[in-house]
Amino acid sequence: MKRIALLTFVLLFNFSFAQKKELRKAQKLYDAGDTSGASQILTEFQAILDNSDQKVKPKYLFLKGKIAQNNKEYQAAYDILTSIEDASAIQEELTQQMSLLSADIVNSAIDDNGNGDFKSSTEKLYLAYIINTQENQDYLYFAASSAVNAELYEIALDYYLQLKELNYTGVVTKYFVTEKETTTEIEVTKSEYDLYKKSKSYEGFREEDTPSRFPEIVKNIALIHSQLGDNEKAITAVQEARLSNPDDLNLILTEANIYIQLDEKEKFQELMSEAIAQDPENANLLYNLAVVTADLGDKISARSYYEKAIKIDPNYKNAYLNLVALILEGEQKIVEQMNSLGTSAADNAKYDSLKKQREDLYKECIPILKSLIQIGDNEEDAIKTLMNIYGTLGDNEGFKEMKALLD
């Protein structure tokens, strides 16, 4: 029995030695760039893997995972590397390899984004996040953005909800120093920042946090709910976010946009007024408030908002056009009254009064249209409108001037 046991031990030793030898051979081929040859050896090795030395199996899987990664089979590489049960002998190498795998996946996702393959980019970025859910939360954020670009709204919503649950903000502290010799401010790493503090060559040390991404995440949750037709959840999401950030302009505007989609113009008007209180020099906000206010019938306030928008941004073409349209809305009622009159002396007097009112409307539009034309961005419609106004008013010089601009 002792001789048989000894023979069995020798056979097992030789078998294990042969396995290690084949594995080293595969490793050498891989190191030499022959991944195909290394892969072939591992494929042959697969048949005896269950009976192999338990110290050999982790190294086999590790090399197989690296080959899959090299072949850009990222999901397979992840599955193989995470299947290693006893990685104690290669733990440091495995940790480094997972980090390299994450970097390769992200670089490939960036290429996919550049090529417009947002679906593939989404899948890869999420995989990069899964590799290290503590340190790679930025990749979950970018995966959600790619999913939106791919119009995979339910997936995007899932990712944004995960980010919200994680209280992810994406805030990063940046470090800046000023070189005394050149008075140039430069951005540096944290370690450089601490080191330069000990130097006399730098001054103006300051830290700056990047804006939080959390309001954007909540906004996108609300917008996706709205996109999927669930406006109640959209409103709930943004109102919940505003409880802790009541003055956040992005959240106010998100809520306003949801209400305008629901055609609740009064609520939109209320929220836009709140937004303007936060950012009174924002021409776009004033313009949007003017549009809705005009739709609600308050022409005087709407005109005031358009004029304020133009004062802030003198090149705001749509504000000029809408202001002219708003003024000329009064023309239809005047014309209808003029057409309803008879030929009596009283009616003739009324007609002349209405005609003057109409001409006054035209005269109000002249300086507005002139300012729009001076912007000089192919304002053909504005030129034609002003030419017709001059024609109606009998201003031949003005008519000819506009006609010359069209010729």
Structure tokens at 81: 């590397």
Residues 6+ apart with CB under 8 A from 43: none
pLDDT tens, position by position, 299-342: 999 999 999 999 999 999 999 999 999 999 988 899 999 999 89
Structure tokens at 207: 């830290």
Domains of the chain: 13-86 (no CATH), 173-209 (no CATH), 317-407 (1.25.40)
DSSP 213: S
Output the DSSP codes for 188-250.
E-HHHHHHHTT-TTEEEEEEEEPPPSHHHHHHHHHHHHHHTT-HHHHHHHHHHHHHH-TT-HH
Helices in 245-297 by DSSP H: which ranges? 249-261, 265-278, 283-295
pLDDT tens, position by position, 69-94: 999 999 999 999 999 988 888 899 99
The number of helices, as runs of H, and strands, as runs of E, in the chain is 19, 3
Examine the pLDDT at 15 and tell me if it is beyond 70: no
Mean pLDDT for the stretch of residues 188-206 = 94
Which comes out higher in pLDDT, residue 48 or 345?
345
Residues 6+ apart with CB under 8 A from 51: 15
Give the C-alpha separation, 116 to 149, whole Å. Answer: 9
DSSP E strand boundaries for 274-401: none
Which comes out higher in pLDDT, residue 285 or 38?
285
In this predicted structure, what is the pLDDT of residue 197? 93
Give the C-alpha separation, 46 to 199, whole Å. Answer: 59
pTM beyond 0.75: the answer is no
Cα–chain center distance at 370: 38
pLDDT band at 204 (very low <50, low <70, confident <90, very high): very high
